[in-house]
Structure 1
């Protein structure tokens, strides 16, 4: 893995000086250093490899991990990081939201990396692996504004998105800061991107949005360009697609294959939320796996979710999720991550919540 060079340190000093000059205070600006061994996750056609050996990751989506109420407004409840990572089987994979607002203090608006640094450090302490998502397509916990077609057409480079500047500025900042983190598996540029044209301020689906004829072309160009940006800084880690994988704007039908061929994507994704949890195979998943095979890339089922609580016993949900994971593996998927871990599940409601005592935990292996 690449380590910090003298030129990198010069850039950090220059950025800090510029930040102070324009009145932006950066706290915890020293990049974290570590002597921990680094996980090497690579691809071999449609398979993922960990340290050169075939690897079929299973784990959780835990989008709330950077929430720290003493620092930021967060994204959901605060998680005890050591308890969470310590409960997982060794070298499980956790996908989490690493959004620009999580590095901005809620008290004075200054930049503070402590909450995000803590996630990478805790994962490394417990021999775990993480996949950060750098932005949310629908804006959840990320400015609360849908990223529309103008964003993907080029405003991702210029539109003010946070105290860091544009989305492109945030990508540069995040990848430069954490590209040497021992627990890092790769990067997801945007979670569930849809280059929609908004018809109202809220961009409400479906009535408040439409899909332009060139949406697929726009999204492909975005993946090519943002992938090149990430790869320029960090050529050693994989780039994950973030795609929901169905008939969404920009990735519907044959557009999914065109996106999959982008040099800015190393691993395709499918997000699996079966309408009938008792049906063992989602109708669209096998076709998406075949597309991944055609473009010689792995497909990670990056989200698999089934509701439980008031609508279904947790034990039954655990059985159904395990069956969906096993089916994804049998079909040729490259791994599966459950949606989603929360520290404060709501058992009296029908939700995707999976808490610390959920029956699924011992069944993740």
Structure 2
């Protein structure tokens, strides 16, 4: 990837809860002082945040209210920072809690209005892209975080009970073709991120990952890595080595948009910094385009085993652009 025409290997961070404002919306995580957060970062650092339609619903009136989300964009602009806006979550967390299944990817994203929300996903996508397309802070868009067009076999859609339809990859590809084309139409300079976890998820396992990401509606491929769950270079079907091969074949960058490791009661934050620094160095050597830590919180819980990255965490000193 490049920034201002120069090679760019960003070290960014996920701060999913930036749109939380308890005076306005139902929130998603803790409320963050936006100027304090963006002010502590190196200029042009990359932050990934939840720009869900639920965060644009005023909890007092039930009406559309962009004040909390607009505040994130305006604060990023003031501090010369960059944002990836994630427009929804496959699991439905911090939205309605409704899993986005096979039917949602085929037609529901255009037609369904989930209880508690005010519009279809298509309408939300078009509304928010129009609203922020001209902002210098918007580095790009992600339609759905960790897409997985599975069929649900129980009410809770437990992952052990889901069924992957044989046409899942084709359905996901068609979704990206359509949504990507519309985002590019509304924001011609947009960079669209795939949202993929990058493992063996329904619709993108093995070779299907390349089929889906060949879509002209995807500009940057994603991969998520959690120390202790994933390993480097990973298996030959869905590991990082395979994903970087596929990205190279498609001539598209692969960004590690989530890299996390638990600390607190289960390990020191200094050891985590050492381990993750080594991990993203290996990721860079294997051809990835950057890494983003999971996840910033303003009030970390040091007595619990969590993925929390607080303001004073040593990982925060790494956020910015990796040296050549």
TM-score band by shorter chain is over 0.9
State the alpha-carbon separation in 2 of the partners of residues 192 and 244 from structure 1: 5
Matches within 5 A, 1:47-86: 48-86=1-39
- What is the CA-CA distance between 1:52 and the residue it aligns to? 1.2
Give the RMSD, CA atoms, in angstroms: 1.3
Match of 1:302 among 257, 277, 289: 257
Matches within 5 A, 1:94-113: 94-113=47-66
State the alpha-carbon separation in 2 of the partners of residues 331 and 142 from structure 1: 35
Contact 1:64-1:79 within 8 A present in 2 as well: yes
Matches within 5 A, 1:250-289: 250-275=203-228, 281-283=233-235, 284-289=239-244
Matches within 5 A, 1:1-365: 48-161=1-114, 163-207=117-161, 209-275=162-228, 281-283=233-235, 284-365=239-320
- What is the CA-CA distance between 1:276 and the residue it aligns to? 6.3
- What is the CA-CA distance between 1:89 and the residue it aligns to? 1.2
- What is the CA-CA distance between 1:364 and the residue it aligns to? 3.1
Write the deviation string for residues 138-159 of structure 1: whole angstroms up to 9, x where unpaired. Answer: 0001211000000001111000
What is the TM-score normalised by the length of structure 2? Answer: 0.95
State the alpha-carbon separation in 2 of the partners of residues 263 and 91 from structure 1: 26
What stretches of structure 1 of length at least 5 have no aligned partner?
1-47
Write the deviation string for residues 249-296 of structure 1: whole angstroms up to 9, x where unpaired. Answer: 00001100101111110000000113268x664441011011000000
Partner of 1:9: none
What stretches of structure 2 of length at least 5 have no aligned partner?
none
Contact 1:272-1:282 within 8 A present in 2 as well: no
Contact 2:183-2:190 within 8 A present in 1 as well: no
State the alpha-carbon separation in 2 of the partners of residues 72 and 337 from structure 1: 27
- What is the CA-CA distance between 1:187 and the residue it aligns to? 0.5
- What is the CA-CA distance between 1:132 and the residue it aligns to? 0.4
Q: How many residues align?
A: 316
Write the deviation string for residues 122-171 of structure 1: whole angstroms up to 9, x where unpaired. Answer: 11111110000000010001211000000001111000136441100000
DSSP-derived class of the 1:231 partner: helix
What is the TM-score normalised by the length of structure 1? Answer: 0.84
